Structure 1
């Protein structure tokens, strides 16, 4: 009987539980034993492991966050830490490891594979910042959370004829800002991939004001700059009544969307099947609505391409 370990690492994302459920249940279906590793690589080094069965993942597909918890671990970034991790995995007779997380988590899986321990990565991050896959688990849910917030803020913005800046997550990837801004009807979307001057934003606000529109939504990706500083510049140049909303970690929470649940389920099963087929040091993803897999190092070396066509389309629609 083979034994599979599973952990979630880095920032949590809605749909991680659905992926955990898929890994555990498919592994048991294929007559494997499963260990859940709590709190990511940190929990691994602290031997915080628990054997899982079908009941362990009952009633979790709809839950946000991760039942295995998550954390970041500086010790695992060292060679000594990783060797300790491999020793612990072997102590529990674990043959394979499934890692759910983002690029940092994948780097850990790659390092384990280099040490001869088979690992597979499943992309779980709301940022959608991994180039090899069209979507990461959690992105769709986070995007819909932002869209709901935009709608509510627009109601009060229009009532008071205000300009509202809504800061969203995404680090250095503008996907959350771009797609939620488009779906939410934002007048201006500011992302790290495209440079925009404050003067251009102000000119647009003044132009819309002249034609009678006195409220506006600006969606700002957190990786671009400080919302407070931007707000001050806009007020100085336009005299607008302006408010700022930083959505923060509300974007990480909530019940995952149907899309994220289905995507996570498909990826979890594929990860188990790859390991049992003797394939490791790989990541699972989705391209053109089909589940794919590729080598971790190749996936991590790919550069994320920003959807410039959609960004240009927003300029047309937000006039």
Structure 2
């Protein structure tokens, strides 16, 4: 055990995701279990710079595991991107006598942690909190499963209207750079087509596919579109193109937006967040730093930050094949 670690700070940064509260709870209670002090940092990296700390104990995080969002709040910080801002953050941690930091967020948060550790040699461990599931070194990120279930539930309801009116619905889901939500939710909800950033289907091929679906007897269709898909300038421009070339359907657009971030976390996300939160404190006590705690083949693992944010998102080709087969 690393006896140098006596006080740990925890914060959430970037976009919120369901399960962040469960992760905070696990970190705080793991600290209590190992008789470490724990402080929460409010408002993410900006709060870190401003020294917005609050002492937390096991009772401070009661009734949190079922709540969406993050009770510590989250905020992006332009100031933390500067050397001066990171120095202020380090000074605030030293003033509070914090020995290590746990950050819950995505690749931007981890990139900032790398620079912070390089400049100040300060122990930082990360937890992957993002609905996009676009972090390397973990099979799933905290919040992804809940977001998937939210999207599938919404598409199921939209399909009722599509069937009632013989309409084609374009449903935009989150995923600027990653198509995991669109692909998996599309398969789960039985979408006729799925458009993702990693695969450029092309507008002509999309229309041809929808025409085949119409000829095969389908009276309505659902097309799931990741927000980062490159077929059109945006989903409304794509809808106009389909209307001009496929007049058999009434075309409607639904943008699910931030509804995907909210809501009580699923059981899977609560358990995942709990395992990773405990894993973060275990890693710090082993003397690890500059790592993300992930889950690979149902085992908690430590992955260097540089590996976690390395490269572009790689989509599962088998899932694409399954989507093609099951959508005929």
- Normalised to the residue count of structure 1, the TM-score between the two structures is 0.98
Give deviations 1:195-215, integer Å, cap 9, x for gaps. Answer: 111111111221221222110
Q: Which residue of 2 aligns with 1:186?
A: 191
Q: Secondary structure at the match of 2:219?
A: coil
Aligned: 1:286 with 2:291: no
| Aligned position for 2:265 | 256
2:313 and 2:296 mapped to 1: Cα distance? 14
Q: Return the match for 1:226 from 223, 234, 237.
A: 234
Asked whether 1:211 is paired with 2:216, we answer yes
Larger mean CA deviation between 296-305 and 179-188 belongs to 296-305
| Cα deviation code 1:68-122 (max 9, x no counterpart) | 0001000001111111111110000000000000001111221222121100000
* Deviates further, 197-206 or 135-144: 197-206
Match of 1:142 among 144, 147, 152: 147
Tell me if the contact between 1:98 and 1:122 (Cα under 8 Å) persists in the aligned partners: yes
Counterpart Cα distance in 2 of 1:172 and 1:304: 7
Aligned length: 319
Aligned residue for 1:131, secondary structure, equals: coil
Q: Is the 8 A contact 1:112 1:118 kept in 2?
A: no
Find the residue that maps to 2:278 and give its secondary structure. helix
Matched with 2:97 is: 93
Aligned equivalent of 2:129: 124
Specify the alignment match of 1:73 in structure 2.
77
The residue correspondences of 1:171-182 to structure 2 (distance < 5 A) are: 171-182=176-187
Residues 50 and 89 in structure 2, CA contact (< 8 A), matched pair in contact too: no
User: How far apart, in 1, do the equivalents of 2:19 and 2:65 lie?
Assistant: 7
8 Å CA contact 2:136–2:307 kept in 1: the answer is no
SS of aligned partner of 1:306: coil
The alpha carbon displacement at 1:290 in A equals 1.0
Which position in structure 2 is the counterpart of 1:295?
Answer: 304
Secondary structure at the residue paired with 1:214?
Answer: coil
Q: 2:113 aligns with which of 76, 100, 109?
A: 109
Equivalent position to 1:53, from 57, 60, 63: 57
Aligned to 1:236: 244
RMSD between aligned alpha carbons? 1.0
Distance in 1, matches of 2:171 and 2:163, equals 15
Contact 1:96 1:275 in 2 (8 A): yes
Question: How far apart in 2 are the matches of 1:283 and 1:313?
Answer: 31
What is the deviation of 1:222? 0.2
Instruction: Please name the residue that 2:282 is paired with.
Output: 273
Rounded to whole Å, the distance in 2 between the matches of 1:241 and 1:303 is: 36
Q: C-alpha separation between the residues in 1 aligned to 2:262 and 2:309?
A: 26
Relative to the length of structure 2, the TM-score reads: 0.95
CA drift of 1:302 comes to 4.4
CA distances 1:202-253 after superposition (whole Å, capped 9, x unpaired): 1122122122211000000001141101000000000120100000000000
CA distance in 2, matches of 1:35, 1:208: 56
Question: Alignment partner of 1:301: what SS?
Answer: coil
Instruction: Tell me the equivalent position of 1:153.
Output: 158
The whole-number CA distance in structure 2 between the counterparts of 1:171 and 1:238 is 27
User: What residue ranges of structure 1 are gaps of 5+ in the alignment?
Assistant: none
CA contact (8 A) 1:9 1:99 kept: yes
The Cα shift of 1:37 comes to 0.1
